Structure 1
Amino acid sequence: MNVPKLQLQSTNAQIGLNIQKPIQEIKQPQANLDLQQPQAKMSIETTKSKLSIDSFEARESMDFKNSRSRTAEIAQQSKQEGLEGIGRRAQEGQELMNIQNGGNPIAEQAKRRGRQPYSSINIKFIPQADSVKINFEPAKVDIQVEPQKVINNSTANKPSHNYTPGKVKVEMLQYPSLKIDWLI
């Protein structure tokens, strides 16, 4: 027996894509740079140092005296010697007035006047220690600095952006088909 057969024949559909890619252009121009740095304002004030050396006592101890000191010293010494002379003469006068009490006051006075006084020999350090006075005031420095701010006039440039979108074109290259046959 012959059984009828069903025969199917199909063709697939085919789609074609035509793609045009998108185009993107980005450009970044450099920034306009304008920076200025003014100099800082600086002021320096100084006071001079002072050095004072007082060698008055050292000069006095080495017998390098000024006229005022020398005059005062001689005046004091003269006054002292004058008073001592007056005292000595008053004593000698008293001795001569009391001659009746005995003794030989004139010979004794001559002996006393004929003796030379001994001078003492001493070691003396010239100039004396700490006789030079030194005073020093150091200099003072006052520095004032005033920084100046940066002047920034820079500008950033915007980027240029061009975009062309892509396109996709779809077309049917082959349509689907189905054939059905009966075979007997």
Structure 2
Amino acid sequence: MNIPQLRMHSQMAQIQISQESGEQTIRQPKADVTIQQPKPEVSITTTPAKLSIDQSKAFADMNLMRIFQRNKAFAQEGQTSVLEGISRRVRQGNELMKLENEGSPIVNQAVQNAHPKMKTLGITFIPSLFSVKLNSQPAEVNIEVETKQPIINATPNKVEHRYERGNVAIEMKQYQDLTIEVIQLES
């Protein structure tokens, strides 16, 4: 018995896609900026320092004084000597009034009045210590600064944007196909 056979050949359809990429460029130019800084205003005021030196006591210690000061010193020294002499005479007079007491006041007074006091030897500093008087007032500095704000001008530039579209092409690379054959087989 002969049964015919069917033989089928099929071919699938194929699509071909070709693509061209798009291009895009973006550029941002720098902004135009100007900055100005005004100078600050500075004012400086100073009060000068003062120094006063008083050497009058040092000069007086070295016996170098003005005539009015010398007269005053001599008057003071004379007054002190007079008061010492008066007190010595009063003391000695009181001793003589009391002759009846023990001792010999006349001999003691004769020895005291005959020999002057011994001068003391020693180191003396001329002029005396701390005889020069210093008085100082420091200087004062006053600084005033008035700052000024900076002047800033900025102009931004627009973005430069360029875009080229891409393209997609779709084509049939291969069409579908179906072929059917009838084959007789011999037995």
TM over 0.5: yes
Matching residue of 2:119: 120
The residue matched to 1:34 in structure 2 has which SS?
strand
- The CA deviation string for residues 27-60 of structure 1, in whole angstroms up to 9 with x for no partner, is 2212212111222322222211111111111111
Matching residue of 1:55: 55
The residue matched to 2:32 in structure 1 has which SS?
coil
* Amino acid of the structure 2 residue aligned with 1:70: R
Q: Cα RMSD (Å) of the superposition?
A: 2.9
Matching residue of 1:67: 67
State the Cα distance separating 1:24 from its structure 2 match. Answer: 0.9
* Amino acid of the structure 1 residue aligned with 2:177: S
Identity %, equivalent residues: 40
Stretch of structure 1 that moved more, 147-156 or 62-71:
147-156
Matching residue of 1:33: 33
Matching residue of 1:109: none
* Amino acid of the structure 1 residue aligned with 2:142: D
Matching residue of 1:172: 172
**Consecutive unaligned residues in structure 2, runs of 5 or more:** 87-113
Equivalent residues, number = 157
Q: Distance in 1 between matches of 2:48 and 2:24?
A: 73
Change (3 A) 1:129 1:80: closer
Matching residue of 2:23: 23
* Amino acid of the structure 2 residue aligned with 1:157: N
Matched, 1:42 2:42: yes
- The CA deviation string for residues 73-126 of structure 1, in whole angstroms up to 9 with x for no partner, is 3445567789999x8xxxxxxxxxxxxxxxxxxxxxxxxxxx796773554321
Matching residue of 2:97: none
Change (3 A) 1:159 1:40: same
Change (3 A) 1:81 1:8: closer
Q: Distance in 2 between matches of 1:134 and 1:80?
A: 30
* Amino acid of the structure 1 residue aligned with 2:22: P
Q: Distance in 2 between matches of 1:141 and 1:31?
A: 45
Change (3 A) 1:81 1:138: closer
Change (3 A) 1:35 1:13: same
* Amino acid of the structure 1 residue aligned with 2:63: D
The residue matched to 1:69 in structure 2 has which SS?
helix
